[in-house]
Structure 1
Amino acid sequence: MPTPSLDIPRIRAVTIDLDDTLWPIWPTIERAEAVLLQWMAEHAPATARLFQSTEALRAIRNQMVNLRPDLQHDLSALRRESIRLALTQAGDDGALAEPAFDLFFAERQRVTLFDDAHDALAFLSSRYPVVAVSNGNADIHKVGIGHYFKDSLSASVLGVAKPDARIFQAAAQALQVPPHAVLHVGDDATLDARGAMEAGMQAVWLSPAEAAWPYDTPPHATVSNLTELCRLLTA
């Protein structure tokens, strides 16, 4: 199937993913989990003994997805309740989940942006209104990039997650343009690019590893980094 070409004049607004599009997420999560484990060693020693590694903390967080499917779109709630479960399983006070999560959440916002992220966001926001669309729980203002964005939409607030068309449609409404006038940029082939296209948007797939596109209908464009995206939009 031929590759669709990006219709640049049609673009009146941009939506963009956050985790793994503007910064690598797993180094951030691993550091936040390590800080959480250190906190537990001091404030919830029984839990620290029962869950002696960040892998164990992540395993109980993943278990919470099955225990509380109603929270699957709210990563903050999933993490908070997984901490509470860890505490109660160890015999510590479940109320410690609140300060423990607050510590984790603060660390989760301490991301290290890709080298070209600030320049790319400055470029995009100087030309288009930009809205963040994320399934995660990063706060663009705590991260320090809020000034580039008109709005930020998260699955936890809307109750639906990418690739559900409703989260993309909500972004278009926030931008006050129809979906076909929006360009979405993101790293996930399914959640971002395919989801945006099925919602009627144009999509640029950010694929640093230059992986093979997994579906029949390709995205409107594929780039390996944000600088390449900016060059593409000025072509």
Structure 2
Amino acid sequence: MNLDTGKLRALTLDLDDTLWPIWPTIARAESALQAWLQRHAPRVTERFDLAAMRADREAVARERPDWAHDLSALRRESIRRLLVAAGETEALLDAAFSVFLAERQCVDLYADSLPALQRLAARWPLFALSNGNADLVRIGLQPWFRGSLAAREFGVGKPDPRIFAAACERLGCAPNEVLHVGDDLRLDVHGALDAGMQAAWVRRDGEGREDDVIGAGVRCWQGPDLLALADRLGV
């Protein structure tokens, strides 16, 4: 699809798996949490290895679909359950979650992310729109963004059109004047298009033909990274 750059006044960007790979980050955060629990709540790690801790986190997500927009709540509940099951005090919950959350902010940016953000932010206001719990200030990317909106803060997450509409309102733009950039076909591309926005699909794996993967009639830009998008936008 040819983007309507003549109308473009702002960009919203997904964070996890768009600016950095999320699973290496989560793995490090879980390992840091496990190490902290081994020192401060050893009965948890005696009973649950890392695989069992991850399985419990997934079980909480299945049991609490009403928390799907709040990954912090899901993680906290999982830690609480592990503490209780192992006979440790729930008073450790806040400290344990803080260890996980701090390490979760230690991301490794894709090589293209920072130079692309610099180019894009020099031309348009950028706004972070995420279902995750990344903190742009702690990560060090705040200077490139005019603002951010997380599903946890808003109450619903992508692909719900309401969170996209809220981002457009905060930017002071009509939906068709905003390009949403993300890695997930359902959450980012279809969510943005359903909200009346333009969409860019960052497909780092590069697999599949456009019609095979996106679906006939779904119109969006797609490319291998953010620098390719910056090139396409002429910045």
TM-score bracket, shorter-length normalisation? over 0.9
Q: Percent identity?
A: 48
- Note the C-alpha offset of 1:223: 0.7
Contact 1:207-1:225 within 8 A present in 2 as well:
yes
Contact 1:205-1:219 within 8 A present in 2 as well:
no
Q: With structure 2 as the length reference, what TM-score do the two structures score?
A: 0.95
Count of aligned pairs: 231
Superposition pairs of residues 116-195 of structure 1, within 5 angstroms: 116-195=112-191
Could you say what the CA RMSD is over the residues aligned between the two structures, in angstroms?
Answer: 1.1
- Note the C-alpha offset of 1:215: 2.8
Q: With structure 1 as the length reference, what TM-score do the two structures score?
A: 0.95
| Partner of residue 51 from structure 1, selected from 25, 48, 51 | 48
Contact 1:120-1:230 within 8 A present in 2 as well:
yes
Superposition pairs of residues 62-77 of structure 1, within 5 angstroms: 62-77=58-73
SS at match of 2:217: coil
Contact 1:84-1:95 within 8 A present in 2 as well:
no
- Note the C-alpha offset of 1:52: 1.4
Contact 1:46-1:91 within 8 A present in 2 as well:
yes
SS at match of 1:14: strand
- Note the C-alpha offset of 1:217: 2.9
- Note the C-alpha offset of 1:183: 0.4
How big is each residue's C-alpha offset from its partner over 1:116-174, in whole Å with a ceiling of 9 and x where there is no partner?
11111111111111100000000111110001011110000001110000010001001
Structure 1 stretches lacking a partner, 5+ long: none
Structure 2 stretches lacking a partner, 5+ long: none
- Note the C-alpha offset of 1:64: 0.9
Instruction: Tell me the equivalent position of 2:199.
Output: 203
- Note the C-alpha offset of 1:66: 2.6
The 2-side partners of 1:70 and 1:225 are apart by 33
The 1-side partners of 2:47 and 2:27 are apart by 18
Instruction: Tell me the equivalent position of 1:84.
Output: 80
Superposition pairs of residues 15-34 of structure 1, within 5 angstroms: 15-34=12-31
Contact 1:88-1:94 within 8 A present in 2 as well:
yes
